[in-house]
Amino acid sequence: MFSVLSFFFMTSVSLFAQEEYGLASYYGDEFHGRETAYGETYDKTKFTCAHKKHPKGTMLKVTRIDNNKSVIVRVNDKGPFVKGRIIDLSKAAAQKIGLLDTGLAEVKIQVLGKKAAYTESESKTTTSKPKKEPNPKAKIVEEKAKAPVEYADDPHAKERARELAKAKERAAKEKAAKKKAAAEKKKKSKDDVLAQLPEGKRAAAKKPVTVAPNPITGVYKIVKDAPAGYTVQVASTNSPKLMEAEVAKLKAKWFKTFVLSVEEKEGKAKFNVGIGSFENVKAANNYKKNLKKKYKVDGFVTPASEGDVTPKGAEKKAPLTRLNLAHVESGKFGVQVASLKDFKRYMKEYGKLANKGFDNILLGVKSDGTYKVILGAFDSKEQAKTYQKNLVKKYKIKGFVINLDDVK
User: Cβ(361)–Cβ(350) under 8 Å?
Assistant: yes
Q: Could you tell me the residue range of the domain that residue 16 belongs to? A: 2-170
Q: Are residues 369 and 254 part of one domain?
A: yes
Q: Are residues 287 and 381 part of one domain?
A: yes
| R_g (Cα) of the chain, nearest Å | 39
Q: Are residues 246 and 342 part of one domain?
A: yes
Helix (H, G, I), strand (E, B) or coil at 383: helix
Rounded to whole angstroms, the Cα distance separating 374 from 113 reads 89
Please check whether residue 336 lies inside any domain of the structure.
Answer: yes
Please enumerate in sequence order all residues whose Cβ is within 8 A of that of 387, keeping only pairs 6 or more positions apart, or say none: 335, 375, 376, 378
Q: Are residues 235 and 377 part of one domain?
A: yes
Please check whether residue 326 lies inside any domain of the structure.
Answer: yes
> Which CATH number is 303's domain given?
3.30.70.1070
Q: Model confidence over 176-210: pLDDT tens digits?
A: 888 888 877 776 665 665 565 555 555 555 555 44
pLDDT at 314: 42
Helix (H, G, I), strand (E, B) or coil at 323: strand
Please check whether residue 176 lies inside any domain of the structure.
Answer: no
pLDDT at 121: 41
Reported as type and span, the H/E element at residue 357 is: none
Please check whether residue 115 lies inside any domain of the structure.
Answer: yes
User: Cβ(356)–Cβ(395) under 8 Å?
Assistant: yes
Q: Are residues 165 and 230 part of one domain?
A: no
Q: Are residues 224 and 159 part of one domain?
A: no
pLDDT at 316: 47
pLDDT at 223: 87
Among 146, 170, 194, the domain-final residue is 170
> Which CATH number is 50's domain given?
2.40.40.10
Q: Are residues 63 and 136 part of one domain?
A: yes
Q: Are residues 112 and 9 part of one domain?
A: yes
Q: Are residues 132 and 29 part of one domain?
A: yes
Please enumerate in sequence order all residues whose Cβ is within 8 A of that of 37, keeping only pairs 6 or more positions apart, or say none: 50, 77, 78, 79, 149, 154, 156
User: Cβ(29)–Cβ(44) under 8 Å?
Assistant: yes
Please check whether residue 198 lies inside any domain of the structure.
Answer: no
Q: Are residues 152 and 9 part of one domain?
A: yes
Q: Are residues 397 and 302 part of one domain?
A: yes
For residue 26, with 0-12 CB atoms within 10 Å meaning exposed, 13-18 middle and 19 or more buried, which class applies?
Answer: buried
Q: What is the pTM of this model?
A: 0.47
pLDDT at 92: 95
DSSP string, 68-83: --EEEEEEEE----ST
Number of domains comprising the chain: 2
For residue 137, with 0-12 CB atoms within 10 Å meaning exposed, 13-18 middle and 19 or more buried, which class applies?
Answer: middle
Low-confidence ranges of the chain (pLDDT < 70): 1-17, 115-164, 167, 187-217, 227, 307-320
Measured from the Cβ of residue 195, the count of other Cβ atoms closer than 10 Å reads 8
Rounded to whole angstroms, the Cα distance separating 35 from 155 reads 11
User: Cβ(22)–Cβ(84) under 8 Å?
Assistant: yes
Please check whether residue 191 lies inside any domain of the structure.
Answer: no
Q: Are residues 160 and 223 part of one domain?
A: no
Among 170, 190, 206, the domain-final residue is 170
Please check whether residue 192 lies inside any domain of the structure.
Answer: no
Q: Examine residue 80 and say whether the peptide bond preceding it is cis (omega within 30 degrees of 0).
A: yes
Please check whether residue 61 lies inside any domain of the structure.
Answer: yes
pLDDT at 175: 82
Which residues does residue 325 pair with via DSSP β-bridges, in sequence order? 222, 260
Q: Which of 19, 143, 13 is nearest to 70 (CA)?
A: 19
